[in-house]
A and B are shown apart, each in its own frame.
Chain A
Amino acid sequence: MTEMVYGAAPLRTAEPILSRWWRTVDKWSLSCVLMLFGVGLLLGLAASPPLAERNGLEPFYYVQRQAFFGLLGLIALVLASMMGPVLVRRLSVLGFIVAFVALAMLPFFGTDFGKGAVRWYSMGFASLQPSEFLKPLFVIACAWLMAAGQELGGPPGRVYSFALMVAIVAMLALQPDFGQACLVLFGWGVMWFVGGAPMFLLMALAGVVVFFGTVAYNASEHFARRIDGFLSPEVDPNTQLGYATNAIREGGFFGVGVGEGQVKWSLPDAHTDFIIAVAAEEYGLILVGAIITLYMVVVVRSMIRLMRERDPFIRLAGTGLAAIFGVQAMINMGVAVRLLPAKGMTLPFVSYGGSSVIAAGIGVGMLLAFTRTRPQGEIGDLLRSRRR
């Protein structure tokens, strides 16, 4: 047969990277994320001019900044999603070590920007929040440990990952940043659950969470006031929550109109934690519903795709990433509609914030890398069933 191929074009052994990426990537999730980013820019146009005005900058300064960081985030997203699972794992574990050390060094080199919690490194032109990057990388590292723990004769991966989780949660709680601590705890819990945690241990974990919640409620007046404020049917209209609730009401189904919203002038966090209120006021329930649907599609579709996945590492890592992405969005919106107690948390891709958008890009990029279509040994199954 040799002569038949002589002089012909050399045979390609593999598909080009881009075309393979495009063929295997989950295009639904990808488009949803792109749309979310677009929505973020649109809302930035609405929500950030008051902030720019307060800081004496030109009206769309923060929109431009966000577009720049968003572009970086998108590049990170595409790059990450092009990588294979093994490469993702290697880079992430390295990155995790760096981020972990950065988090541990915060008390010595970090700044608090006068907000009372030391969460940032000041880089001059921008600030960096290590915990934002740590979250997705932590998920990958934990998934690796847990998957290794499932091998026969493997290391006790779950115990190691548990210790890591406790260390990170403790560091975050000391900053204090209870929101991120909860996210890390939740992400680990989901991975543990999907990775085959025994039922009674899950119950015990739930019991411990309830117990510490009660203790915190009784011990800290600050904490108790937040919960009481949440439980009481009355909303103080002069709090952020009151403004947010009223903004959603004002918006109704179709919104008050582009640029007509008022809430962004009174809410200091209108461009970050309460951006959904700005969306609801100016564009109404339609846009809010669309945003919720976009998040839901990304999370639920990723999980459904991961159900087919046979590799335990990929399955766990993907689940963890999808869970923290989804839960962060859910908490942010849940606070604005008073389903959850007040807790500062950004809406991934939509809220303003450099660290936030780049970290979200990396996280979702890795998620897309894990949900790519790849052979799952179906042929092996067929052969095996034939043999029997």
Chain B
Amino acid sequence: MIRTPLRPLARILEARERGENPDAIERENLRLRHEEMRDRLRQRAESRLLVMAVMFFCGFLVVGARMGVLAASEASEPRAYAGGASIRASRSDIVDRQGRLLATNMSTHSLYAHPHQMIDPTRAARELAQIFPDLKEADLIEDFTGKRKFLWVKRKISPEQMQQVHDIGEPGLLFGPREMRLYPNGRLAAHVLGGARFGREGVNAAELVGTAGIEKHLDELLRDPARGGAPLELSIDLSVQAVAEEVMEGGMKLLNAKGAASVLMDVHTGEIISIVSLPDFDPNDRPRPPVTGRQSDSPIFNRAVQGVYELGSTFKIFAAAQAMELGLAAPETMIDANPPFVVGGHRIGEFHNKNYGDLTLEEVIINSSNRGTGRVALQIGKERQQQFLRSLGLFDPVPLEMVEARGGQPLLPRDWTDLSTVTISYGHGLSTTPLHLAAAYAALGNGGRAVRPTLLRQSAPQQGARVMSERTARNALDMLRKVVTEGTASMGDVPGYSVGGKTGTADKPKENGGGYYEDKVIATFASVFPTNNPRYALVVTLDEPVETSGSEPRRTAGWTAVPVASTLISRIAPLLGLRPEVEQGQAERVLRVSSQ
């Protein structure tokens, strides 16, 4: 940048020679420079003013043009406007796998008041209190005579109540249309569906928001207007679910259990066909979570999905399967089940202090030997055991499509010692949900591939990760079958359906720590059927059952969970379309008689 001096030396010298004051030159230069700057600014201001003028001109022109467009368009009658475009009242229906309705919407009305429009607030309050017994007349009078200009009286009213309110003839009482969520089957599949409530409310509409279960988990999807009202298809089968709830309820009452849960799952697709947790509730009138007492005793607690229990000897088959998979043992390999068996300073005992001596691996499972399983588990070792159980999904919450599934986090031992390895091999020290167990048994039925349970209807089998070879799975199923035909689950056989399964009777740990109850058990029967062509995995769990027909109370799963499960299978197998396998010889004889 070239600086022009305010006092150019040549001119100063000239001025001095002429005897003039050189300061005048500086002032002159300053003035010129100032004028130049002002001219520059003015020119810029001129162009910018022109820009502003043009902008204002255009702005007014746009307003005028818009006025013209509006004036030229046809005036329309004011339409009833769905108050607040942001409230979307629509919510998809939920249906079972055969398209039968599980959850739907029903048009109803809400009742609200404009107290400033009321003619006789006292009379309105009195009559309302007569129609709705849960409303207090004094409260209503206070509301109606107060300063408020708007208040909700009732969120949902029936058509009869609406007519009665209408008959009061009070102009300050108004109705707003509402869509309410309706579960036409009442308590059926209550835990799966969860429930819904009103979200943001306007006079003309209210949002329906899922509060629990699949309604909450898939809330966005169900409310998505892009679905165009297409219903959500679940994997649940309504008839099977109804039978399962009936059988489980009966079993629970008969055995004086305080709770029961069952999971029926397709071993190939992972679809949950029925899932029961008792006691249950009516999702149309979902109870509030309890503020006192234990959450897990509340009816809204989902025992099948949220309840983590030590599921006992049902875990033994995993140790046996892994031993076969690793080549450590074959079904007929002899296992030492002799006492004493001491691990980490603890003596491992058997049920009723039995002593089985030496057993084959198959007999270990059939007789449910703790020592046998424990010795096998020690051979497998801690790392390999953990890795195998993890691959069966027993370490993480099941990713099922309901919010409660996240709560079903398995409880693992804080430090996994050799003793943990042994106890976990027979189902103690590791707590999982019945759903976890069903998924792990489904992997046995699915030829050794892991299956992820789902509540949504599937069209194709899952191709999960392989957790064991097909041969191992086959051998494990044969062992499970023998448990039913020869072992602890002899009451579980259902003629024609070739049930295979494993019992588990686990003492309940005391709530405040310190050991186990003597007389409180969780009885479980985990099964796969039919074993020769596996289709379904079923887990039945009873909380504190007791069977009192004998001389002393019996609590083992073989006397409690197994008979319930066999009843269940015998009732649902025909519903599932399974053909009973009738023995060949009898069938031929029948044919011969008819032909003669």
Using a CB–CB distance below 8 Å, which chain A residues touch chain B?
150-152, 190, 193-196, 225, 228, 232, 234, 236-238, 242, 245-246, 248-253, 280, 284-285, 288-289, 292-293, 295-296, 299-300, 303-304, 306-307, 310, 312, 315, 319, 322-323, 326, 330, 333-334, 337-339
A249, B63: Cα distance in complex, Å: 15
**Counting CB contacts under 8 A, is B326 at the interface?**
no
Query: Binary interface profile of B, 41-76, with partner A (CB < 8 Å = 1, else 0)?
Result: 110111011101100110111111011101111111
Knowing A246-B76, A253-B72 touch, does A312 contact B81 (C-beta < 8 A)? Answer: no
* Nearest opposing residue in chain B for A239, CB measure: B81
**Further 18 A-B residue pairs, CB within 8 A, beyond A280-B67, A293-B64:** A150-B41, A152-B34, A196-B41, A228-B86, A238-B78, A249-B70, A249-B73, A250-B75, A251-B71, A292-B63, A296-B57, A299-B56, A300-B56, A306-B49, A307-B53, A315-B45, A334-B66, A337-B70
Q: How far is the CA of A222 from the CA of B63 in the complex (A)?
A: 26
Report the interface size class on chain B. 35 or more
Given the complex of chains A and B, what is the CA–CA distance between A126 and B64 in angstroms?
A: 34
B70 to chain A, nearest CB (A): 5
On whether A330 and B76 interact (CB within 8 A), knowing A196-B45, A249-B71, A289-B64, the answer reads no
Closest residue of chain B to A224 (Cβ to Cβ) is B86
Residue of B nearest to A197 (CB): B48
B38 and A312 contacting across the interface, CB-CB below 8 Å:
yes
- Kindly state the separation between the CA atoms of A151 and B35 in the bound complex, as whole angstroms: 10
Contact indicator B48/A193 (Cβ below 8 Å): yes
B412 contacts the other chain (CB 8 A):
no
If over half of A's interface residues share one DSSP class (helix, strand or loop), that class is named, otherwise mixed; here it is: helix
Contact between A248 and B70 (Cβ–Cβ < 8 Å)? Answer: yes
- Cα A288 to Cα B68 in complex, Å, equals 9
B37-A152 in contact (CB<8A): yes
- Cβ B68 vs Cβ A285 within 8 A: yes
Query: Which of these, B53, B61, B67, contacts A288 with CB under 8 Å?
Result: B67
Determine if B85 is an interface residue (Cβ-Cβ < 8 Å).
yes
Q: In the docked arrangement, what's the CA distance between A310 and B44, Å?
A: 12
Complex: chain A residue closest to B39, CB-CB: A310
Closest Cβ–Cβ distance, residue A305 to chain B (whole Å): 10
Closest to A253 in B: B71
In terms of DSSP, what is the predominant structure of the interface of chain B?
helix
* B138 at the binding interface (Cβ < 8 Å): no
Which B residues fall within an 8 A CB radius of A? 30, 33-34, 37-38, 41-42, 44-46, 48-50, 52-53, 56-57, 59-64, 66-68, 70-76, 78-79, 81, 83, 85-86
Residue on B nearest A235 in the bound complex, by CB: B81
CB of B60 within 8 A of CB of A330, answer: yes
A-chain residues with CB within 8 Å of residue B73 when the two chains form the complex: 249
- Give the nearest-CB partner of A303 in chain B: B53
CB neighbours (8 Å) of B64 from chain A are 288-289, 292-293
CB distance from A366 to the nearest CB of B (A): 17
For B83, what are the chain A residues with a Cβ–Cβ distance below 8 Å? 236
Contact yes or no, B81 A296, CB < 8 A = no
In the bound complex, residues from chain B placing their C-beta under 8 Å from that of A330 are: 56, 59-60, 63
- CB neighbours (8 Å) of B60 from chain A are 292-293, 295-296, 299, 326, 330
In the assembly, what is the distance between CA of A199 and CA of B42, in Å?
A: 16
Tell whether, in the assembled complex, residue B49 and residue A289 are in contact, meaning their CB atoms are under 8 Å apart: no
Nearest CB in chain B to that of A292: its residue: B64
B48 with A303: CB separation less than 8 A: no
Give bound CA distance, A237 to B79, whole Å: 7
**How many angstroms from the CA of A300 to the CA of B71 in the assembled complex?**
25
Chain A residues near B71: list those with CB within 8 A: 248-249, 251-253, 280, 284-285, 288
Report Cα–Cα, A192/B83, bound state, in Å.
44
Distance in Å from the Cβ of A371 to the closest Cβ of chain B? Answer: 12
